[in-house]
Structures are given as structure tokens and as C-alpha cells.
Amino acid sequence: MTSTRRQFLSAALIGLARKTDRPVAGGFVDDGHQMGHKLRDRAPFAPAKQAIRIPLVIVGGGIAGLSAAWRFDKRGFRDFVLLEMQERAGGNARWGENEVSPYPWAAHYVPVPGKKAALVRELFEDLGVLRAGVWDERHLCFSPQERLYLHGRWQEGIEPLTEATAQDREEFRRFAARAHEFRATGQFTIPMEMGATPSPLDNLSMDDWLQQERFNSPSLHWYINYACRDDYGALAHDTSAWAGIHYFASREPEEKGPLTWPEGNGWITRRLLEKLGSYVRTGCMVHRITREGRKLRVSAGDIDYIADCVIFAAPSFLASHVCEDAPPARLVYSPWLTANLALDRLPAEHGFETAWDNVIYDSPALGYVVATHQSLRTHIDRTVWTFYWSLAEGSPSENRALLLAKDWNYWKEAILTDLERAHPDIRQCVSRIDILRLGHAMARPVPGFLGSEQRRRLTESSGNLLFANSDLSGFSIFEEAQYRGVKAAERALERL
């Protein structure tokens, strides 16, 4: 009797409940961890069938590796190959595409470089983005650039200033003034190597520094934590104050930006591959690098390359798994998750118009970027959102384990639940969610990173094994990856 009554009641309640959610397709994509774990566990690899003598090998087809190739090609040096583990080059500047739009898988913008960032400007001149000192408007992020969901509606910009107190505003102003002072010291440059000198700020966390400077506004703390999570995948508590300040003090944009494209930095990868594709071998995992006299034997799949010089542009921690005399891996890396959501209609929302970058206040994730934002069309009814989530809370190794332990459905639910706060009907709009898990997405500039012995050994590595990943700078941004790649190429050219 009780059970039938309960059944009756629950049936009645289901009738009242909202429409059942539509099914969502999707899965994990491009998992790199299986290959990485084979290296870590020293799994056996079949012996080579063929040996090729070649002056130089680049390991890793992300921005660092491609930038080394770009430099070689411009200097007329063409006797090299670039080996990429994945089926597609790009690393953190990979992209995907569906019938609506191309979309990024990770890095999605480059801040408009200042006059000092000569290499970045040179590249953008080559790609036609910068012509006679003028940036092409179509490559600059369209208005509106950013918005924040706060107090039940979207506001323009991501500084949380809706309903801010006078103290909040005062602290935002004071923080901007401090950043300006730090900029004037000339120590906070891009590339970082040009200005960085040993600094007591590196011994503090960003959180400690904020306290030391008596910044107490919760809004400011949220904002700075957001910046650290966004650029370093870490909380302010786990970020070196030097790096935290670098984020705010290093950039002097001469134009309202950033530079961005539907496929994010995948656009740069694409354009570089148009020029450099002939050097690139994808699906070629380097599993061993051994010394043979003055040469290096690079084993990748069933080919051994016998090279005079190797540029190791893949994440540096991988080197200790494949290479006997590589420095041990002690850098800290942040795990990330990115997801691309296909929307076949746009959700209802409240407040300021859809921007390029859309952030939800107090969310553990970082928000989403709209792939169709750079479209010239005025009417858009289908789109792709790239959802970013740096798992910053807790320890990186535990978060990496969590990333692998939970299934797609778990992450799908977590993403939709997060978005539901700002878009209650999001489940009716999304037809597909593809998820990329990046266990070692980016180097994390923890306190002490600047003066760390490990980083010094990697940057000063000489001989014929040269390191080039952005992790040499301590943080993963486009400009650092490009700088490290080009610099390694120039040192290699001196040797050859």
C-alpha cells in the first residue's frame, strides 16, 4: 500500500519536473597519458628497422619546437626533422573543428606584444597580422572581450566590480599602481629571461605578498587567484609572488587585444605548418635518446635518427624518461581539463551581451571562450564553447589521478552543473561535449622557481642536447615557448 502510494506520488512529481535533459554525445579525446606512461614505466619498444643520419632533430611539435623549425627555415637551414608524438602537431596550441567552427584545445590567445617582444612581432609580421606597425583588426579580439557572471547577472569586464565597496575599488586601484611600479623596474619582461634577476619576491607566495601589502578585499583576492589559475593553473597560495606580479607587470599592450582566432593559437600552428609541414613527422614518439660518441641516437617508432644535435622541445620532465644524462624531473606541472561543447542553440541569459571570454564568479573552473566570437557574421545561432578548468585546488599529483580515475560522464556533469549557474537551460542547448585531459598541461611557477637549480640546469644545458620547452621559463605562455624554441635553434646553428 505504502509503495503504491509512493509510486503514485513520485509519478505525479515527475510530471511536474522540468523537461528531461536531452542526451549529450562526446568522449575523451587525444589522450596522451597512455604514451607518456609507457615512457615512464620504461615499456619495451621494438628495435629500429632503419637508421637515418641527419644533422638535427627537434623533439616535440608544440610552439617551442615549431618556432625552432621556423627559425631554421628562415635561416636557410633545412637538414632537420621535427618528431611529434601525437597524430597532430601543436601541443598546447592544438585545435579541432566541427561543422560549425574550428575551436581551440588549449591556448587560445596571444596578448598584443609590446615593442620589446621582437620575436613575437617578427612572427606576426611573417603571418600578415602586423603590417607596417599596424595590427590587423580582424585578428584582434572583437568587442566585447570579457564578462563576468556575478550577483545573478553578467557584467562587462572580469574585474568583479558590481556592488564593489569603496575599499574594494581602492584596493584595485592600489594594486594597479603597484603593478605599474613593478613594470617600471624593468625586471618583469617578456621573455622573462631578459629582465629577471634573483628576487626576494620569489621566496614568497602571491598570497603571502598580498597579505604583506595589506590587500584584504575578497574581490581582489578572487581576481588575482583567477589570474594565477588561468595563466599558471595554480592558486595564488601556490604561485611565486614574482610570477604572480609578472602576470600583471609584464605587459604593455599598444593595442586593445588580445590577438585571437576561432581555433585559438591553433591558427598560428596551422599557419606555421603551412610553411614547415614538410619537416614534421607526426605520430612519432621518441622513446630513447642515447649518446654514440659525439652524436645522439634518437629512437622514434621503427626509425633511429643519428643526429649531431637534438632540440628537446617537449615538456622537459619527459627527458629524464628517455635520456640517460638528462637532468632529473623536479619541475611542478599543473593538470588541466578542457572541453569543447557544441551548442545547436544559444542559452537564455541575463545582463551584458555574450563576450569572447565568459567567466563565472566563484566557480572552480575558468569559464568558457566562444569560438564564433571572431566571426564577421551578425547572426549566430550555433556555436562552440571551449570550457577551461585548471585543477588548482589540492595537489597536482592527486588531481592527475582524479583526472584519470573519473569517467567522461562525471566530468560532463561537473561541467554542465558549473555552467548551469549562469545558463539554467544549458542542458537543452548542448549536443556534444568532447573532453581533453592534460595531466602535465603547464609548468607551475611555485615559490622558489626563479632561483631553482633544476631550472638553471635546463636553461644552461650545453653540448648537443638543448632544451627548449616553455617550462624553462617556469610558466607556459606562447611568448616564452617561442623564445625558448628560437633561442635553442640559434645555439644549435652556432654548433653546427
Partner 1 sequence: MTVVLFISVALIAACGLIYELVAGTLASYLLGDSVFQFSTVIGSYLFAMGVGSYFSRFITRGLVARFVSIELLVGLVGGFSSAALFLAFAYTQGFRLVLYAIVIAIGIFVGLEIPLLMRILKNRLEFRELVAHVLTFDYLGALGASLLFPILLVPKLGMVRSALLFGIINAGVALWSTYLFRDQLGARGILRISCAAVLVMLGAGMAGAERITQAADANLYADEVIFARDTRYQRIVLTKWKDDVRLFLSSHLQFSSRDEYRYHEALVHPGLAALPGARRVLVLGGGDGLAVREILKYPDVQSITLVDLDPEMTGLFSTHPYLATLNAHSLINARVHVINADAFSWLDQNTDSFDFVVVDFPDPTNYSLGKLYTTAFYRLLGRHLSMQGLAVVQSTSPLFARQSYWCIVETLKQAGLKTYPYHVYVPSFGEWGFVLAGLNPYEPPLRLPAGLRYLAAAEVPPLFQFPNDMLPVDAEPNRLNDQVLVRYYERDWREIAH
SS (H, E, C) the chain: CHHHHHHHHHHHHHHHCCCCCCCCEEEEECCCHHHHHHHHCCCCCCCCCEEEEEEEEEECCCHHHHHHHHHHHHCCCCCEEEECCCCCCCHHHCEEECCCCEEECCCCEECCCCCCCHHHHHHHHHCCCEECCEECHHHECCCCCEEEEECCEEEECCCCCCCCCHHHHHHHHHHHHHHHHHHHCCCCCCCHHHCCCCCHHHHCEHHHHHHHCCCCCHHHHHHHHHHHHHHHCCCHHHCEHHHHHHHHHCCCCCCCCCEECCCCCHHHHHHHHHHHHHHEECCCCEEEEEEECCEEEEEECCEEEEEEEEEECCCHHHHHHHECCCCCCCCCEEEEEEEEEEECCCCCCCECCCCCEEEECCCCCCEEEEHHHHCCCCCCCCEEEEEEEECCCCCHHHHHHHHHHCCHHHHHHHHHHHHHCCCCCHHHCEEEEEEEEEEEEEECCCCCCCCCHHHHHHHCCCCCEEECCHHHCCCCCHHHHHHHHHHHHHHHHHHC
State the binding string over 313-352 for partner 1 (x if CB under 8 A, else -): ----------------------------------------
Residue 309's nearest CA partner among 491, 458, 492 is 492
Tell me the C-alpha distance between 258 and 111, whole Å. Answer: 4
> Among 257, 264, 347, 445, which residue sits at the site for partner 1 (rule: CB under 8 A)?
257
Among 255, 302, 325, 413, binds partner 1 (CB under 8 A): 255
Among 353, 362, 398, 453, binds partner 1 (CB under 8 A): 353
Q: Per rule CB under 8 A, is residue 166 in the interface with partner 1? A: no
Q: Is 379 in the site for partner 1 (CB under 8 A)?
A: yes
CA geometry: angle 30, 36, 37, nearest 5 deg: 115
User: Among 32, 144, 301, 448, which residue sits at the site for partner 1 (rule: CB under 8 A)?
Assistant: 144
Instruction: Using CB under 8 A, pick the residue from 170, 213, 302, 381 that binds partner 1.
Output: 381
Options 81, 100, 140, 243; binder of partner 1; rule CB under 8 A: 140
Among the listed ranges 33-41, 164-172, 197-205, 375-383, the one in contact with partner 1 (CB under 8 A) is 375-383
Binding status of residue 375 toward partner 1 by CB under 8 A: yes
According to the binding rule CB under 8 A, does residue 163 interact with partner 1? no
Q: Which of 231, 254, 255 is nearest to 138 (CA)?
A: 255
Amino acid in the structure at residue 305: Y
Question: Which of 41, 99, 137, 274 contacts partner 1 by CB under 8 A?
Answer: 137
The verdict on 253 binding partner 1 (CB under 8 A) reads no
Kindly state whether residue 99 participates in binding partner 1, applying the rule CB under 8 A.
no
Q: Which is nearer to partner 1, 321 or 382 (CB)?
A: 382
377 binds partner 1 (CB under 8 A): yes
Q: Which range, of 27-35, 251-259, 315-323, 402-410, touches partner 1 by CB under 8 A?
A: 251-259
Piece in contact with partner 1 (CB under 8 A), picked from 71-79, 197-205, 372-380, 471-479:
372-380
Q: Which is nearer to partner 1, 156 or 308 (CB)?
A: 156
The answer to whether the CB of 234 falls within 8 A of the CB of 446 is: yes
Which of the stretches 249-257, 261-269, 274-282, 388-396 binds partner 1 when contact is defined by CB under 8 A?
249-257
Binds partner 1 (CB under 8 A): choice among 75, 138, 330, 456: 138
Q: Tell whether residue 143 is a contact of partner 1 (CB under 8 A).
A: yes
Binding flag, residue 376, partner 1 (CB under 8 A)? yes
Provide the minimum distance between the beta carbon of 381 and partner 1 in the complex, in angstroms, as a whole number: 7
414 binds partner 1 (CB under 8 A): no
Q: Which stretch binds partner 1 (CB under 8 A): 99-107, 113-121, 194-202, 255-263?
A: 255-263
145/219 with CB nearer partner 1? 145
CB of 421 to partner 1, least distance (A): 16
Question: Does position 170 bind partner 1 by CB under 8 A?
Answer: no
Q: For partner 1, which residue of 141, 342, 433, 436 counts as binding (CB under 8 A)?
A: 141
Which residue in 294, 378, 405, 460 binds partner 1 (CB under 8 A)? 378
Nearer to partner 1, 135 or 209 (CB): 135
Q: Should residue 20 be labelled a site residue for partner 1 when binding is judged by CB under 8 A?
A: no
Window of 66-74, 136-144, 288-296, 320-328 that interacts with partner 1 by CB under 8 A: 136-144
Rounded CA-CA distance 90/466 in Å is 20
Asked if residue 264 binds partner 1 (CB under 8 A), the reply is no
Question: Taking the CB of residue 225, how many other CB atoms lie within 10 A of it?
Answer: 20
Question: Contact between 274 and partner 1 (CB under 8 A)?
Answer: no
Question: In sequence order, which residues have a C-beta less than 8 Å from that of residue 106 and are 6 or more positions away?
Answer: 91, 92, 93, 94, 264, 265, 336, 338, 436, 438, 441
Q: Which residue stretch of 21-29, 230-238, 298-306, 378-386 sits at the interface with partner 1 (rule: CB under 8 A)?
A: 378-386
Number of amino acids touching partner 1 (CB under 8 A): 19
Q: Which residues bind partner 1 (CB under 8 A)?
A: 137-138, 140-145, 255-257, 353, 375-381
